[in-house]
Every structure is written in structure tokens, then in C-alpha cells.
Structure 1
């Protein structure tokens, strides 16, 4: 068996056996300022062999889960479908469906459906949790892909509270961790990979605002959309020109996460579009601009620096449409809170992929 620290220098060419106990475990997670017990959760990608062995393309995620006698995992929702295989023991499924699960059962949980698990006295279970899209639910402990409880409040204020909590969580994701370190400042190749990956997202953002403009169904919002489009027009070209980027790179995972935002501009209602673009994307952009601007000096360019510009204008852009949302009837906000959580999850996925591509070396990562 290969020792973990020697794995990076070893071509994976032999059959390997990884013991469950060799995968690092976490026992709890903090979400929206509260700590929730997970029992025992072992994401396969916490082990260096699995990080190399499990394909990135398609990006399924696997985790061992365990609840001992009398433990519970509180009811929660997540934005991707999940399948839980009961490998040994038994456990009660809670939430939208209440049922005893036994060894050999599989619980298939659609995205957004409330569910949890609890054991009774004398019960315990080991299971395998599988997600088929993006990061594992707790792979990034700073930005877990779950929401605990069942928020039934219906108001603009509850939307704002939810958004503020998710923005704060967003600021702890892997891209912001990278920006808080010194690796971008000291490594020119890493900086280049970061900029090329960012350009992929910047081009998709142009598609987002053009699609929203073209498919607007509320005439009173069209002037707001037009103003926003004029402010943002051509920023992808600015990024490319100021940093001499090739702009020929592609990454299926990053593009899939970014395409979600474009698709929502085609199919969502105007209230949802305001939440997605301004409360999520522009709020993320403001935070990103503040964190990234120290790394990129504007001294060599005559025009405004791309990063300085976003650190400034996105502060205004994140408040666009706020007064329109405030006047919506209360019954609209339950659905908008769900949309808000989905959008932040996708924004976290965009950032996580940019960070992963930045840290890739050699030919790994973006493909021309």
C-alpha cells in the first residue's frame, strides 16, 4: 500500500485498498453560524489517493457516513441530488419522508428536499453518501453545500438575512483562502492560471447580462437592466487585454457551473433574476474585487484596472433592484430564498473550480 506522502510521485497503476479508517473524518460542521453534528463523515477526497484516483470530469463525490447509538443528523436540504446506501445497521430517515432504512436500502433524495437521519437506542448505521454533481456536501468545510432546518419565514427581511449568511460563508471558500495567502503574489505561473480561469467566468458573466436583457418580461425593470449592461459591457475584453491572456482555454466543470446562471436568465422570473444577479453574483464580485485587487497593479495600463473597477462598481450593482424586491407580496419570498441558496451554491462551485485550476500544475486543469 502506498504511503500518502509518496502518492504524488507515484503513477497510479496498481490495485490499491484504502481502509475506511484511513480517510480523515469530521464530526460536525458550522452552517449559518450554528454547529451541527454529522456523526462521522469521511469524504473520499480527503484521502490523497482518492483525490488522484476519482475522475474530476463529471465529478461524483463519495463519503462514508456513520451514526452511532442515539445520534442524529438534523433535517437539511442541499442543491444537488444525493443517494445514501445503507451498508450496515439501520437508521430512521426523517424530514419529508419518515421511514426505517435497513442494510441494502438506498435512499434517493432529490435536490431541495428536506431530510435527515436518526438512530434509536441500540441502533447504528454505516452508509455511503453519493452526489453526482460538483463538490461533496462537506468537502469544503468553509462552504458546506447544505442548509439545516426548514425556513418557513416569508419576507424580504428573511431573504436579506439568508443572503447575508451565505455571503459570509462564501467569503471562506477555497478561492478566498487562496487570495488571502501569498501564492498568487510569488508564483507567476499560478497567477497566469488564475487569470485564464477567471476569464472563462468573466465571459459567461457577459452572457448572463445579455441574456437577461434579451429575455426581460417586466418593462419597468428594463431601464435598470440597460444601465447594468452598459456598466459591465466589455469587461471580459478589458481583463484579457490588460493581462495579455490567450483566452482559448476551456474547462467543462467551470463552464457547467457558469452556464447555470445563463440558463436562469432564460427561464426564471424577474424577481429570481434580480436575486441571482445582484444579491448573489454582484455581491460575490464586490467581495472578490476587494480581495483580489492588491495582487494586480494598474501601473502598466492607462485605463482603470479590471480588479479596481469591480471592487468599486459592484458595491453599487449589488443593490440594484432592491426596492423592487421589497414591494413583492410575502408569498413570493419562500421561493426566492430557495433560489438564493441555489445561486450561492453555484457561485461557490465557480470559485472552487477557479481555485482548483489555479493550483493545478503542468498540463492539468484548463485545456486549450
Structure 2
């Protein structure tokens, strides 16, 4: 008699449930044949436990919410299964084998192997429901998507992304985070107080950077997007000061100089460079920072959200603001942006080097 491996079936739903779109985990890009491709916002229903248990496995079909906005583009691609896209809200342009505008209520039927993609204009937004009738969803497996892109990502954009990913990985190993990994920041109040005081200086300059960008932005579409970002970040420096009793007259010349670099770039840099500085570099670093530091600042209640909890949350929207603008740039513009990206990371590392030195003192 041979042993057989028995795999338990997931428990079926036995009562009515509702699932908000925001509760389905989103992905924004996918890697195919070594190249990263932008998806906008893609929420496969099977990324939510209740929906995965509710959808049938026999006669299997797949559903996903999709969204593009403000000039974002899903590059022309093809896949081995038929697909249907329902335009639920907004508008977009179908590209590929057939080019035509799409509006709310339109249905797009895509046979296997047909080349198609979608793009929006600045200020335009598209919400849709993507349906596949055979097998897994197109991006249900994030490591093995069922698509082949027929328009390659700009090598220049890919180079900028590669540099930013490399610097982000380096930042995740910064020596400041060793104080948190070892437990010293949690167990030694003097270290924690020095860290919070130094962090407050940087937090103030982060706010000033966003104010400066908003004040001088002449692009109406970007100004609206930037205003939303500013509203969501507003007051985080005050939250830090009030929760941790930081004195308002904290001063350090190195932190002041590095912080001012970010503010001055908002007055002199072009919009593409500002997007690189604020979103590719600073906002990308914020999530790493929050994950590394929140263990030393645990809140006492579910409703008491701390500065560190806020930055530990994955905020793909903030990190991806303006990325569509970068994708649309000509190759000649990227050498400058790659240099800006490197400089911004150098300045940010200077801020964290100084924090680590002040903590050690």
C-alpha cells in the first residue's frame, strides 16, 4: 500500500460577504523576460482569500479590477487566452491591432494572440474589469505572468529603475537600522530620544519640500496630483513632535544642509527631476524606513496610529506618482535623470548617516 498526499480543499464560504476593491491586494508592474512593465493598478480577485474561496476551480475563470490614470499606459501585449475588458468608469484609448477611444459601458473582446494595450491622457482616468475565461488570470502568478509584451520598455527608463532599485537595496542595509534590529532603540530611551529629535529635523524638511513643489508647479494636472499628495502627508512632522515630546528648537547643521538640498531642487529642477527625487527616491525609502523602525515605537491601541505606522504602510500610489511621465520621456533626457537619482540618494544617505552619528553620540 502506497501513501498518498492529500491536499485539503480551501473552506467554502457559508455566509454572505462583501469585499471592497481596496481590500484586494494591488500590483503596479510585472517583470516579463527580464523587463519590468507598467500595469497601472491591477487587483486580481484571487489575491483576496474570501474571493478565492468563492470563485469556482472547475470551469475556471478569472476576474481583476484594473485602473489607469493621468497619462498611464499598459504597453501593447498578447496572451494565449481570450480576454474581455469592461469599461466600468472613465475613458481610455485602445491601442495595438485596433486603435479607438473607449468610454464607460464599452466592452473589449480580445482573442488569443491579438495585440492590444491601453493608454490614458493626462487628467483622464479609466476603471475596468478584466475577465479571462480559461485558466489562471493573466497576472495571477506575479512571477510567471501569462503575457508577452511586444513593445519593449525604454532602455533608458529601465536603467533609471535599475539604479533606483540598487540604491534602495543599499539603503535597506543602512547602519542606522542596526539599532532597531538589535533591540537597542526599543530598550534604551536616550538613544530613542536622540533618534526622534534628529528625525524631526528631516521630517520638517520633507514637509517643506512638498510645500515648495506645490508653490511653483505650473502644470495643472501635476499640481492637482501634488496637492493630493501634500494633503495626505500634511502634519506628519507635528505628529512626530507631539507623540514623542520633541523640542521645536532642534538644530543640526548637517541635517539642515542636506534637508535644504531637497527643498532647493523643488525651486530649480524640472518636473521630471522632481518626480525622481520625491517619488522614486524619497517615497520609496519611506516604506523601508517605516518597516525597519516601527518595532521600537509600538502603539498601545488599534486607533492610535503613530508616525512610524504610517510610514510602514505600503503606499504604492505615492511611490508611483509621475512614473507615467517618465515612461513618456525621450532617451536623451535620462542621463540627466540618472544623475539626479544618484545625487538624491547621496543626500538622503547623508541624512541617515548623520542620524546614526547623533544616535551613537
Please give the TM-score of this superposition, normalised by the length of structure 1. 0.54
Alignment of 1:213-362 (within 5 A): 213-299=214-300, 302-312=303-313, 314-360=315-361
Count of residues paired in the alignment = 208
Residues 351, 345 of structure 1: alpha-carbon distance in 2 compared, 3 angstrom cutoff: same
d(CA) in 2 for partners of 1:318, 1:176: 21
Partner of 1:207: 208
Q: Distance in 2 between matches of 1:177 and 1:297?
A: 18
Q: Secondary structure at the match of 2:177?
A: helix
How far 1:300 sits from its partner (Å)? 6.4
Residue 77 of structure 2 is matched in structure 1 by none
Taking the TM superposition and a 5 Å limit, the aligned residue runs for 1:1-368 are: 155-299=156-300, 302-312=303-313, 314-360=315-361
1:27-84, Cα deviation, whole Å (9 max, x unpaired): xxxxxxxxxxxxxxxxxxxxxxxxxxxxxxxxxxxxxxxxxxxxxxxxxxxxxxxxxx
Q: Structure 1 residues 314 and 196 mapped into 2: Cα distance closer, same or farther (>3 Å)?
A: farther
Q: Secondary structure at the match of 2:320?
A: coil
Quote the Cα distance in structure 2 between the aligned partners of 1:187 and 1:344. Answer: 29
1:274 to partner: Cα distance:
0.3
Q: Indicate how the Cα distance of structure 1 residues 292 and 286 shifts in structure 2: closer, same or farther if over 3 A, else same.
A: same
In 1, the alpha carbon distance for the partners of 2:180 and 2:295 equals 9
Structure 1 residue ranges without an equivalent (≥5): 1-152, 361-368
Aligned residue for 1:298, secondary structure, equals: coil
Distance, in Å, in 1 between the alignment partners of 2:177 and 2:287 is: 12
Deviation at 1:178, TM superposition (A): 2.6
Please state how far the C-alpha of 1:199 moved relative to its aligned partner. 0.5
Q: Is the 8 A contact 2:294 2:312 kept in 1?
A: yes
Answer whether contact 2:279 2:319 (CA < 8 A) is retained.
Answer: yes
User: What secondary structure does 1:248 align onto?
Assistant: coil
CA distance in 2, matches of 1:295, 1:220: 39
SS at match of 1:193: helix
Q: Is the 8 A contact 2:183 2:296 kept in 1?
A: no
Structure index of larger Rg:
2
Deviations, residues 107-164 of structure 1 (Å, cap 9, x unaligned):
xxxxxxxxxxxxxxxxxxxxxxxxxxxxxxxxxxxxxxxxxxxxxx961111101110
In 2, Cα distance between equivalents of 1:329 and 1:303: 46
C-alpha spacing 1:316/1:179, structure 2 compared with 1 (3 Å)? farther
Tell me by how many angstroms 1:177 deviates.
Answer: 2.6
CA distance in 2 between counterparts of 1:173 and 1:331 reads 33
Over residues 325-354 of structure 1, what are the superposed CA-to-partner deviations in whole Å (9 max), with x where a residue is unaligned? 111111111100000000000000001111
The offset of 1:302, in angstroms, is 4.7
Partners of 1:242 and 1:318 in 2: CA distance: 26
Contact 2:199 2:355 in 1 (8 A): yes
Distance 1:270 1:199, change over 3 A: same
Quick one: structure 1 residues 247 and 210, their matched pair in 2 at CA, closer, same or farther if it must change by over 3 Å?
A: same
CA contact (8 A) 1:175 1:354 kept: yes
Q: Unpaired runs of 5+ in structure 2?
A: 1-153
Q: Check whether the contact 1:296–1:307 (CA below 8 A) recurs between aligned residues.
A: yes
Q: Is the 8 A contact 2:180 2:295 kept in 1?
A: no
Change (3 A) 1:168 1:275: same
SS in 1 for 2:263: helix
SS for the counterpart of 1:288 is helix
- Paired with 1:313 and 1:231, the residues of 2 have a C-alpha distance of 14
TM normalised by structure 2 equals 0.55
C-alpha RMSD of the superposition: 1.6
Are the counterparts in 1 of residues 176 and 352 from structure 2 also a CA contact under 8 Å?
Answer: yes
Residue in 2 that maps onto 1:37? none
The answer to whether the 8 Å contact 1:217/1:270 transfers is: no
